[in-house]
Structure 1
């Protein structure tokens, strides 16, 4: 491996340890370090890569930095990039889950988490506002967002979400004639990574259905969800809550909210929250079982997006010229916004509806909207207040 690759991986580790604030903040730091300082790629190349990743299912900033690694050194460097980027946050979330399990086993109260649970709802509410204000620009998109939010709230089957995404994309795809036509649309598609993506999906589904092995079923659950999440980590929340809290009851709503609040205080990808969920889903199998749960959940949630970015990046420049593709993105984005709005309401339900908890939700939302206080600071304040009171 060349010296340039080592320097790049060191830069990725630096980002993994310092990139707070979600995909938008991550991309800003990538501009400063990878474009302005190191010049691994141009500003326009990074903008185009990030645009591609935003329309693919999976974690946007993770796919972007993986794609940069692919551009620089091919698949091997890309996989190392992915590993270094996600490992710190995923490891901390696994440790947090084990700590919560330990405290519960020894009847130690988790009341110190009571303030960060409504704060987590405030974070999701702010995400719903931020996403919808950027992507919902037409009356049709507003209608799709409202309808999808209502359906997502009242129908909690895990299969409702992918159906809503497909329906939203299909509705706005019908308006493709409103987009300018472009020529020279000759696609040269190499199918290897897409076939690999489908093979893993089908194999996991068959093995998950045929066996009683919880790790295999968990891998299938997270791999499937990782194939369906458009819009980043915040859109992941309603999917995870519906499947693992409401439907399968692997963890409680309070545990879910606590884990989501903790991940807000960490650098790196929000998708590392899945390490926490997989860990607690395996708590009856001891510490080693919990670590296995974190491993299969983390691999499962990140792998689909990795396969898909490797597949699409080769013909993206030609694919985006198709008007139907561009038009469908409006509906997919609107459905994603509606799902996050529904998630904010669903996440508030398990919390005691007291003036204090409601006030914490509103205050968190307001602080995120009107100030520049970093999310980790807010979460640390929440922890401190929990210990003090």
Structure 2
């Protein structure tokens, strides 16, 4: 019974996080640290950074993988899959509803002015996360140097593939200090390939089934599953790929800065052959703005795209399209982290692997620090934005005000000054 209560409390915390974690994967990590580490003590600061570092190396949504990996460590696969569902359900539901409304009112302009304080507040959360993580996990000169180098490189080389490269290189550097690690009695390293086989099997089966049946739900699942298996860097990388694959060509010139920004990203990134183009660029940008304003995973934007892609099949088709697209984008990363985490504990028995964790966690702290600067740059350099960011950081460091209340206060201020 005690174990069941613990599982229930964990899922309740996951739901709270799903409803209050604004700002993308790095801001999510700061919330995880505050709720799951400091408040509930499900795991230590070092263990959280270790899991997040593993997820940064793998393709897929890093914050979602980190949270499901925590669920796996607490209660095994069953709790992990429940964690995934609870985490993605609020954002996926809202994005599906937004798509249904959009399909009925195609020219509707979404007003999200009330979220104007959320972005600078998210920067405050990320800054707090970087501060706390570096304070508790970077304790050596080597770690400090690697943290600074990782922050500088990730700031100046803003490409998704730089994240796993930085983390792997930092781990290799400190792995050379393996002689400082105590020897342990080595156990046989058994690698369970079942989840890797499941990932590869679903990828191949979906591709074959989609090619044979030509069924739209299957093709949507295959498209998003393939993208979810290849994307490093989060929702900001997913967006330009989806824009290429799903947005219909427009004759009029693009004057929206967001459209131009997406297209510039597209030119720098590989995009597979388009599935079809059922969505206008106005619908795409409206949905992407809603996704950015929501708590939870940005990858929930896939449900919006899937629902609009299937709108010709009515309400039921929209629901099915959203479901298949969301499952397609979230499952690959989940399968892959389950594959790695099953042998990770035994893999750490090797001294070089344990030594590499110093570099891995230091580099991860540097990535979080750089992301705070990167997130703030698109904002207007106003006194208000600076003040909101600094106030959020100070509230987190010097008070015990819960994160949900801070976010709620930002939304209320947004409504008042809208």
The two structures share one fold, judged by TM-score above 0.5 = yes
What displacement does 1:202 show? Answer: 8.1
Who is 1:244 aligned against? 239
In the alignment, the residues of structure 2 paired with residue 330 and residue 214 of structure 1 have an alpha-carbon distance, to the nearest angstrom, of 41
Q: 1:296 to 1:305 in 2, by over 3 A?
A: same
Q: CA RMSD for the aligned pairs?
A: 4.3
Q: Deviations along 1:23-62, whole A, 9 cap, x unmatched?
A: 5523577669xxxxxxxxxx9xx99997984664253342
Q: 1:344 aligns with which of 358, 372, 376?
A: 372
Distance of 2:357 and 2:396 partners within structure 1: 27
List runs of 5+ in structure 2 lacking aligned partners: 21-30, 56-61, 241-261, 268-280
The within-5 A match list for 1:249-264 is 259=291, 262-263=294-295
Q: CA deviation at 1:161?
A: 1.6
Rounded to whole Å, the distance in 1 between the matches of 2:111 and 2:392 is 24
Matched, 1:309 2:338: yes
2:388 equivalent to 1:388: no
Alignment partner, residue 302 of structure 2: 278
Task: Output aligned runs, 1:78-157, within 5 Å.
Answer: 78=79, 81-92=82-93, 94=95, 98=99, 105-157=107-159
Residue 324 of structure 1 pairs with residue 330 of structure 2: no
| 1:62 corresponds to which of 68, 90, 97 | 68
Provide the C-alpha distance between the structure 2 equivalents of 1:353 and 1:377, rounded to a whole number of angstroms: 26
Q: Does 1:192 align with 2:187?
A: no
Counterpart Cα distance in 1 of 2:318 and 2:75: 32
Q: In 2, distance between residues paired with 1:201 and 1:282?
A: 18
Q: Distance in 1 between matches of 2:337 and 2:91?
A: 21
Using a 3 Å threshold, how does the CA distance of structure 1 residues 299 and 378 change in structure 2: closer, same or farther? farther
- Counterpart-to-counterpart distance in 2, 1:206 and 1:86: 30
Contact 2:100 2:308 (C-alpha < 8 Å) held by counterparts: no
* Deviation of 1:79 (Å): 6.2
| Unaligned ranges ≥5, structure 1 | 33-42, 229-237, 264-269
Change (3 A) 1:345 1:319: same
Which residue number corresponds to residue 255 of structure 2?
none
Aligned-pair CA distance for 1:356 = 0.9
Quick one: distance in 1 between partners of 2:402 and 2:371?
Answer: 22
Q: Under a length normalisation based on structure 1, what TM-score does the superposition of the two structures give? A: 0.71
Rounded to whole Å, the distance in 1 between the matches of 2:39 and 2:331 is: 21
TM-score, with length taken from structure 2? 0.66
Provide the C-alpha distance between the structure 2 equivalents of 1:152 and 1:207, rounded to a whole number of angstroms: 39
Distance in 2, matches of 1:100 and 1:132, equals 44
**Aligned match of 2:175 in 167, 173, 176?**
173
1:327-353 C-alpha deviation (Å, 9 max, x unpaired)? 111222122122222211111122111
Residues in 2 aligned to 1:204 and 1:253: alpha-carbon distance in whole angstroms: 30
| Aligned positions, number | 347
- Report the equivalent of 2:229: 223
Mean Cα deviation higher: 165-174 or 291-300: 291-300
